[in-house]
A = this chain, B = another copy of it.
């Protein structure tokens, strides 16, 4: 049996509505994956994510879990699902991105990366093989290859060098992944077979994107991710790369745009045929009092909300918008109550998930462009208080 099953149910231009089945859940795409870095989505209890928000898949970070609580602890509990109690799908990144962006690098070699923990300076080693082993111990449903992610403004030569290393690491990732899958003990708690996604790099260079795509597809994966976007480059670069690259990606595999993005970015990605997204902004912004709404972003600290009895977003049906007023949420934020982060993060994740559901419906009904135009038009009103 395949570890995943992927079917495109409808196309509308480049946009597509699919169904991704993992061993743990059925995921309708396009889909936004809330980020649970440490095995928990910040501020939102799993009960809400399951019952009201109905998230089918979350992302967890290999780098963070590798450092704390560590692989042996996760293994002791029988994998990340059992440890965290989240029993729907989990996608784990490879740790590469965090190693290159967070940790003090010691040494990058053909073999892998020796680095120091951002927590205590302790020394660790990650390589394609180690990353596959860690992700096998985590037991995530979708595993990412270990790649090197160059800076968004990397020049052509540096980018080429990086993507060649990434290609060799991708092949090694697949080899080790396959060994681990063959050796995995099938058992009732589903800690067995996983699926592996490749990552296309190449920064803003179209020729290198093409080359990276060809080499990655040449190795062969169950899904393909677009890496190296939303890493500091101009927003237009991301949109240009999406427009150029996505139509060239295999149609018979899910496409995942890593670490992206704003509601606008998600809609642009969907337009170009991306199926999966993840980003920390709904919860990160929730903690700083910033809410995403159908009329753009609002910041709850704004004094004009003090006496406002309307919800964060009158068009949102989430439990926060059905109950709590702008005035009350502002009061919670101003008085340092955790409740502000909890409630605004909840709404933000609800908004992201619902936006993807609405996009999907529009694709199925063949009216994605009208939906997109309406959605982006409203967002740019950017004045929720005037609604």
Chain A contacts to B: CB under 8 angstroms: 38-40, 42-43, 45-47, 64, 68-69, 73, 76-77, 83-85, 306-307, 309, 319, 323-325, 327-328, 330-332, 334-335, 337-339, 341-343
Q: Which residue of B lies closest to A342 (CB)?
A: B45
Complex CA–CA separation, A325 to B76 (angstroms): 13
**5 residue pairs, one from A and one from B, having the closest CB atoms:** A40-B339, A38-B335, A69-B331, A43-B338, A76-B307
- A41 to chain B: closest residue by CB: B339
Question: A42 — which chain B residues lie within 8 A by C-beta?
Answer: 337-339
Q: Is A39 within 8 A of B328, CB to CB?
A: yes
Q: In the complex the two chains form, what is the Cα distance from A338 to B338 in whole Å?
A: 8
A77–B337 CB distance below 8 A = no
CB distance from A199 to the nearest CB of B (A): 26
Q: Would you call A325 and B40 a contact (CB within 8 A)?
A: no
Judge whether B328 and A64 touch: CB under 8 Å.
no
Q: Once the chains bind, are A323 and B85 in contact (CB under 8 Å)?
A: yes
Chain B hits for A323, CB < 8 A: 46, 85
Q: A73-B307, A307-B76 are in contact. Are A83 and B339 (CB under 8 A)?
A: no
Tell me if B43 and A342 are in contact (CB < 8 A).
yes
CA separation between A39 and B337, bound complex, in Å? 10
Do residues B84 and A38 form an inter-chain contact, with CB atoms below 8 A?
no
Residues of B within 8 A of A83 (CB): 325, 327-328, 331
CA distance A306 to B73 in the complex (A): 7
Considering the complex, give the chain B residue whose CB is closest to the CB of A320. Answer: B45
Q: How far is the CA of A73 from the CA of B334 in the complex (A)?
A: 14
A342 vs B338: C-alpha distance in the bound complex, in angstroms?
A: 9
Q: Provide the residues of chain B in CB contact with A68, threshold 8 Å.
A: 331, 334-335
Q: List residues of chain B with CB within 8 A of the CB of A328.
A: 39, 77, 83-85
Contacting pair B324 A85 (CB below 8 A): yes
Q: Which residues of chain B come closer than 8 Å to A38, judged between CB atoms?
A: 331-332, 335, 337
